Amino acid sequence: MEDSAAVAGLLWDEWLPVGVRRLIAGVLPAGEVDGRRLVVWLAGVHDIGKATPAFACQVEQLADVMRAQGLEMRSGRAMGPDRRLAPHGLAGQVLLGEWLQERQGWAARQTGQFTVAVGGHHGVSPESGQIKALYDHEELLRTPGGSSAVWRQVQTELLDACADVFGVRDRLGSWQAVKLPQPVQVLLTALVIVSDWIASNPDLFPYFPQAAACDGKERLAAAWRGLDLPPAWRAVEPVGDVQEWFASRFGFAPGAQVRPVQEAAVGLAREMDAPGLMVIEAPMGEGKTEAALAVAEVFAARSGAGGVFFALPTMATGNAMFPRLLEWLQQLPDEGGGRHSVHLAHSKAALNETFAGLLAEGGRVAAVDVDAAVPMARGVQEAAGFAGAELVAHAWLRGRKKAMLASFVAGTVDQLLFAGLKSRHLALRHLAVAGKVVVIDEAHAYDTYMSVYLDRVLAWLGAYRVPVVVLSATLPAARRWQLVEAYAGMPGTEPESVAGEVAYPLLTAVAPGGRPVVRQPAASARGTDVRVERLADGLDVLADRLETELADGGCVLVVRNTVKRVLETARVLRERFGEQDVTVAHSCFVDVDRAAKDSDLLRRFGPPGRATGRPGGRHIVVASQVAEQSLDVDFDLLVSDLCPVDLLLQRMGRLHRHQRGEGQAQRPVRLRTARCLLAGADWDTPVPVAVRGSVAVYGAYALLRSAAVLLPHLDGQPVRLPADISPLVQGAYGLAPVGPQEWAPALEEARERFEQHRADQAERAAVFRLGDVGRAGRPLFGWVAAGVGDADDTRAGRAQVRDSRESLEVVVVQRRADGTLATLPWLDADSKGRRRSGLDLPREQIPASFTARTAASCGLRLPIQFSYAETMDRAIAELEQLHVQAWQHKDSPWLAGQLILALDEDCQTQLAGFALRYSPLDGLEVTRV
């Protein structure tokens, strides 16, 4: 009890962000003094439920000692299954409630909002039915008969002592009238959990200190030194010239100027009465990331936020953002001691070399995380380029449930959506986001299913007064309004001011409970006119056209909507242009090859001055949607399948992205005008018909409306970027009729299917979605009832917050002719020059750590064919036949529990009725046997 309470006090003083302390203190009569006392007291009493027969009977030897003192109890066996009705968290909640009523004179209805922090300290707040069931079995709390009074006396003595020792005796009377908002109840629960976990760590608080051990204060000080948690960030709002501020943070090249959108975003953040939600809509390449980080500094300084969470749509975008976040952190003023805890939040973060280097540096901390899911890697700190930085991937903050408590996090949006999923230890996720500025990138990329979770999370973030920055290049106006409404909760506010706004670029801001403010910054001087042409959907047609277009050389990006079309297209183009002039990029590469692909694309097609290998002749990149985001690549010509118009505009952002000479003079003459050839549809029918794969991915309605708003541009009018972005997006996603009259029946039929699909998504997503914020004073009983259990960043966990089937992930190795296993034969050396290809993977012993990590870096998510129930079950059964017992050891975390897919020496195999072929050039190809 003393350890937990003492830890809670230090967490309040040293670690908890100012904004979280303000939120708790703001509802209590004596403010911060009451806030600290309440947190310390709840942490101190949280295990009072262990002073019950139902708990104490578990160890007969110790129970006998208690019986000798008059605390009679039956044995655990004699109690039978009824013991399960009294888990010690629930028992503690009931005992504390009784004490508040009987000893402090509280009304029964007032106690639950405080005691729920005790009842929920194991991750799930009790439900009303559980509370009633325990009251019906009072013998679990106090053995009936003469011993009952002894039990009650001991329980009362402990709670009386806690009230005195933790300084709340004279405060409880004034707290009777308080109505704790539900967000405050969540934060109190989370702080009790964190305090309990730290105080329960025997490396920090030994069970049996030696006789000469230090006193309580020294014991606590030693534990806190061993834990060595970096303090919360204390942002200082920059003052003065925005140009100088941006140059100091983001390393502007000589002569570079802050863009109008960036300056306007900072200005609006400074003007707001209180930090809240800001939606930044601006073209690709306008520096929205830098604007978001700058706004985050202003918001953090004014709100007391202690960090930033940057949420991105994919692991690839998360990996790309992580070093940018670290670079920005290194330029911040040295506040709070200059040490910051950082985290890369996705399931394969430990394979990221930058993050692995920080993990190795953070490994010096004494605490041991038994829940750790992220293996430690060592020896790559210098290679990661952050050897001198005070950025710590802290040992205690590793693991599935604690990692998001780090101050600065880049990761997938799933980690944010999990805050809206009823799951065990949800309070910890809420504590993690409640103390940060949250940045949501690529907001247009989230479908209805994900948006159901995102909107509920935004409602809670608004209740926590968490500042949020939403970034999008192409956001439908109706979706903008939904985001603002979800966050601010504005009953009676007319949406026209937000949803009807079509200006571009556009800033929209609102404080929690406030009214929205709209700003229309000027666009930067940069702009591109893109001519869009129909292209018949034939591979020979495409090859012929590219032969003409590339007569004088040039770099072309061909974007297909399915991996199957990527591979079919690449095969034909290689026959025509040669293998060396065609590159393939899609999602079905093993992780290490995918990362190498991204690096290679940036090296060859990145910005002038940074890309060193741009082809001097002709080259064609055939890619799936992986080319839409995160990669700063620049091509002379774009060929795209028909897709939703916002995604087409993203693809156009890879066309003439940078200036290459005066008037693009460094590009081939034929390609100095930006052009997009639109394929993937039959354009000769009365109503265009998209290819089957595209319809399966996007639906006919979005494709038809996209084609309809593009008609004027297909008939000669160029798409002006950025001026036409908003009109095209609002037209495609609005409710007004579009397209010729003869398209109307097809559009209406497609709309009905789309609406049905969207309603189905919303209904399915709502099953496990967290409830809305309840009224102040209402206890969080049953807060996560009927939830999903633990919400982890696993294939099953991600499937809960994304409308996707559970995917199957494997580690790909090679089986040699003699039956031995090895890492893939084409892998390049690592950053230290160590060979990674063809390393032996012995089955009779644990592989060396470097070898195991190399194998794990070849993870692959199998395509959708393996996500259907029967096929998945069959595939898992076949994969489990290659079960290497030696690899399941706790000292081999890289391969333990992984499904291993072994390719033969020709890189082929069969699985669940499909033939699989893999190559580092084309990735995975799957055909039915």
**Quick check: 113 pLDDT over 90?**
yes
**Quick check: 291 pLDDT over 90?**
yes
Give the residue carrying structure tokens 């995918």. Answer: 594
Residue 789, pLDDT score: 66
Residue 388, pLDDT score: 29
Residue 806, pLDDT score: 62
Residue 503, pLDDT score: 82
Residue 277, pLDDT score: 97
Nearest residue to 154 (alpha-carbon basis) of 55, 226, 83: 55
Residue 366, pLDDT score: 30
Cβ neighbours of residue 370 under 8 Å, at least 6 residues apart?
Answer: none
- What is the tens place of the pLDDT at every residue in 483-522? 999 999 865 455 555 656 678 899 999 998 888 999 999 8
Residue 792, pLDDT score: 57
Residue 347, pLDDT score: 72
**Quick check: 371 pLDDT over 50?**
no
Looking at 3.40.50.300, 3.20.20.70, 1.10.3210.30, 3.40.50.1260, the CATH number of the domain 2-202 comes to: 1.10.3210.30
User: For 348-359, what is the mean pLDDT?
Assistant: 73
Give the highest mean pLDDT range of 25-39, 354-368, 405-419, 870-884.
Answer: 25-39
Residue 349, pLDDT score: 73
Q: Omega of the bond prior to 505 within 30 degrees of 0, cis?
A: yes
Q: pLDDT higher for 358 or 364?
A: 358
**Quick check: 170 pLDDT over 80?**
yes
Give the residue carrying structure tokens 């709670």. Answer: 159
| Sheet containing strand 618-623, strands side by side | 582-585, 618-623, 554-559, 637-641, 674-679, 528-534, 719-721
- What is the tens place of the pLDDT at every residue in 729-784? 999 998 899 999 999 999 999 999 999 988 887 887 788 889 999 999 999 999 98
Hey, is 918 helix, strand or coil?
A: strand
Q: Are the beta carbons of 792 and 371 closer than 8 angstroms?
A: no
User: For 126-130, what is the mean pLDDT?
Assistant: 91
CATH 3.40.50.300 maps onto the chain at 242-491+498-519, 528-721
Hey, is 655 helix, strand or coil?
A: strand
Q: How far apart are CA 175 and CA 187, in angstroms?
A: 17
- What is the tens place of the pLDDT at every residue in 94-106? 999 999 999 999 9
Cβ neighbours of residue 433 under 8 Å, at least 6 residues apart?
Answer: 309, 404, 416, 419, 457, 461, 464, 466
- What is the tens place of the pLDDT at every residue in 519-536? 999 887 678 899 999 999
Q: How far is CA 423 from the centre of its chain?
A: 16
Longest dimension (CA), the chain: 100
Helices of type H across 257-380: 260-271, 288-303, 315-330, 353-362
- Residue 106 burial (CB count, 10 A): 18
- Residue 581 burial (CB count, 10 A): 16
- What is the tens place of the pLDDT at every residue in 793-809? 555 555 566 655 567 88
Residue 796, pLDDT score: 53
State the Cα angle at 116 between 114 and 121, rounded to 5°. Answer: 120
**892-928 burial by CB neighbour count: b if 16+ within 10 A, else e?**
bbbbbebbbbbbeeebebebbebebebebebbbbbee
Q: How far apart are CA 770 and CA 844, in angstroms?
A: 47
Q: How far apart are CA 424 and CA 162, in angstroms?
A: 28
* Range of lowest pLDDT (2-16, 125-139, 539-553): 125-139
Structure tokens at 844: 């009779």
**Quick check: 571 pLDDT over 70?**
yes
Nearest residue to 509 (alpha-carbon basis) of 291, 277, 856, 313: 277
**54-72 burial by CB neighbour count: b if 16+ within 10 A, else e?**
bbbbeeeeebeebbeeebb
User: For 847-862, what is the mean pLDDT?
Assistant: 92
Residue 337, pLDDT score: 54
User: For 166-187, what is the mean pLDDT?
Assistant: 96
Give the residue carrying structure tokens 């709209």. Answer: 518
Structure tokens at 806: 């559970």
Cβ neighbours of residue 212 under 8 Å, at least 6 residues apart?
Answer: none
Helices of type H across 409-490: 414-417, 426-434, 448-464, 477-488
CATH 1.10.3210.30 maps onto the chain at 2-202
Q: Are the beta carbons of 121 and 89 closer than 8 angstroms?
A: yes
- What is the tens place of the pLDDT at every residue in 824-840? 999 999 878 899 999 99
Structure tokens at 230: 């970096």
- What is the tens place of the pLDDT at every residue in 875-929? 999 999 998 999 988 777 788 889 999 999 999 999 999 999 999 999 999 999 9
Residue 370, pLDDT score: 27
Structure tokens at 673: 């005008």
Q: How many residues does the chain have?
A: 929
At 446, the pLDDT band (50, 70, 90 cuts) reads confident
The mean pLDDT of the chain is: 88
Q: How far is CA 72 from CA 83, 95, 140, 738, in A?
A: 16, 18, 12, 79
Looking at 3.20.20.80, 3.90.1150.10, 1.10.10.10, 3.40.50.300, the CATH number of the domain 528-721 comes to: 3.40.50.300
Q: How far is CA 489 from CA 118, 483, 495, 508, in A?
A: 30, 10, 12, 15
* Range of lowest pLDDT (243-257, 525-539, 706-720): 243-257
In what helix (H) or strand (E) does residue 689 lie, and over which residues does it extend?
strand 689-690
Looking at 3.30.160.110, 3.90.230.10, 3.30.70.600, 3.40.50.300, the CATH number of the domain 242-491+498-519 comes to: 3.40.50.300
Q: How far apart are CA 645 and CA 651, in angstroms?
A: 10
Q: How far apart are CA 281 and CA 183, in angstroms?
A: 30
State the Cα angle at 496 between 492 and 501, rounded to 5°. Answer: 145
**Quick check: 675 pLDDT over 60?**
yes
Residue 384, pLDDT score: 34
Residue 822, pLDDT score: 97
Residue 794, pLDDT score: 53
* DSSP secondary structure, 265-295, as one string: HHHHHHHSSS--EEEEE--TTS-HHHHHHHH
Residue 214, pLDDT score: 56
In what helix (H) or strand (E) does residue 534 lie, and over which residues does it extend?
strand 528-534
**Quick check: 300 pLDDT over 90?**
yes
Residue 93, pLDDT score: 96
Nearest residue to 19 (alpha-carbon basis) of 304, 433, 277, 438: 304
- What is the tens place of the pLDDT at every residue in 621-674? 999 998 887 678 999 999 999 999 999 999 998 999 888 989 899 999 999 999
- The answer to whether the predicted template modeling score (pTM) of the entire model surpasses 0.85 is yes
Residue 759, pLDDT score: 87
Q: How far apart are CA 400 and CA 502, in angstroms?
A: 42
Q: How far is CA 509 from CA 504, 506, 909, in A?
A: 15, 10, 54
**Quick check: 158 pLDDT over 90?**
yes
Q: How far is CA 311 from the centre of its chain?
A: 5
Q: How far apart are CA 394 and CA 388, in angstroms?
A: 16
Hey, is 521 helix, strand or coil?
A: coil
Residue 706, pLDDT score: 97
User: For 291-308, what is the mean pLDDT?
Assistant: 96
Residue 497, pLDDT score: 58
* Range of lowest pLDDT (23-37, 532-546, 767-781): 767-781
User: For 107-118, what is the mean pLDDT?
Assistant: 96
**Quick check: 153 pLDDT over 80?**
yes
Q: How far apart are CA 186 and CA 429, in angstroms?
A: 10
Q: How far is CA 862 from CA 653, 737, 896, in A?
A: 29, 40, 19
User: For 243-272, what is the mean pLDDT?
Assistant: 90
* 252 DSSP 8-state letter: P
Residue 739, pLDDT score: 93
Cβ neighbours of residue 238 under 8 Å, at least 6 residues apart?
Answer: 245, 294, 297, 298
Nearest residue to 430 (alpha-carbon basis) of 195, 185, 198: 185
